[in-house]
Amino acid sequence: MTTDAKPSPRERLLEAAATLIYRDGVSIGVDALCKAAGVSKRSMYQLFESKGELLAASLEERASAYVATLLPAADDNRSPRERIMHVFDQLASQAGAPDFQGCRYLVVQIELKDQSHPASRVAHRVKENLTAFFRAEAEHGGASDPNLLARQLILVFDGASARAGIKADTPTGLIAPTVAVLLDAADLR
């Protein structure tokens, strides 16, 4: 007989943080986090030094899944151009979901302002890794200025994510042509 184990208090806190922060923002209170997780404040503080540490752990826990949904497999044999376009296709697909509120890592950086905050450091690293992916693909594809192209691509990614997240625009039919212009201008193969 198999029984599904109930998630631990730590797992419930991480899930509550991910859900509430994405939906309501980083200013969500400790009481609301604990209530959503079904965990006492005392237990939360035994598991995490602070709300900031909980937020950082929640973001960290989701980082690999975030990257896995965006980036193509390392050995997919597509051209650098196709690999970059894959990321933007994934963004357009995610942005079409009714509950899409933008890139959670960008949102955290914007809301927190304090770059030394534990959650901000995690978010910054995740975004830097995405920029590094763009830079590596740009180098591999022979872009004229891989650094500039990577910076331009992350700007388009974040801008499209933010605009879709606030329901100001839909990226459908907008992202791919915009990225294609940048890739063409950089002579990316």
The answer to the question of residue 41 being in a domain is no
The answer to the question of residue 166 being in a domain is yes
Range of the domain at 70: 56-185
Provide mean pLDDT across the span 87-102.
92
Separation CA 138–CA 75 (nearest Å): 16
Model confidence at 97: pLDDT above 80: yes
Mutual orientation of helices 9-24 and 30-37 as an angle, nearest 10°? 130
pLDDT digits (tens, 9 = 90+) for 58-88: 999 999 999 999 999 988 999 999 999 999 9
Q: Look up tokens 């022979």; give the residue.
A: 142
Q: Between these two residues, 127 and 172, which has the higher pLDDT value? A: 127
What's the start-to-end Cα distance of the chain, in Å? Answer: 55
Model confidence at 4: pLDDT above 80: no
pLDDT at 139: 97
Kindly report the CATH number assigned to the domain that includes residue 106. 1.10.357.10
The answer to the question of residue 137 being in a domain is yes
The answer to the question of residue 8 being in a domain is no
Separation CA 154–CA 158 (nearest Å): 6
pLDDT at 38: 96
pLDDT band at 2 (very low <50, low <70, confident <90, very high): low
The answer to the question of residue 11 being in a domain is no
The answer to the question of residue 120 being in a domain is yes
The answer to the question of residue 12 being in a domain is no
Nearest to 21 by CA among 121, 102, 129: 102
Q: Which residues of 21-56 are buried (b: 16+ CB within 10 A; e: fewer)?
A: bbeeebebeeeebbebbebeeebbeebbeebbebbb
Indicate the average pLDDT of the chain: 93
Provide mean pLDDT across the span 45-63.
96
Q: Number of folded domains in the chain?
A: 1
- How many alpha carbons lie under 13 Å from residue 180 in its C-beta half-sphere? 6
Distances (CA, A) of 162 to 33, 125, 151, 158, 168: 25, 18, 16, 6, 9
The answer to whether the CB of 18 falls within 8 A of the CB of 62 is yes
Taking the model in full, what pTM does it have?
0.91
pLDDT at 124: 96
pLDDT at 173: 82
What kind and span of H or E run contains 9? Answer: helix 9-24
pLDDT digits (tens, 9 = 90+) for 115-133: 999 999 999 999 999 999 9
Name the DSSP class of 75.
T
pLDDT at 6: 86
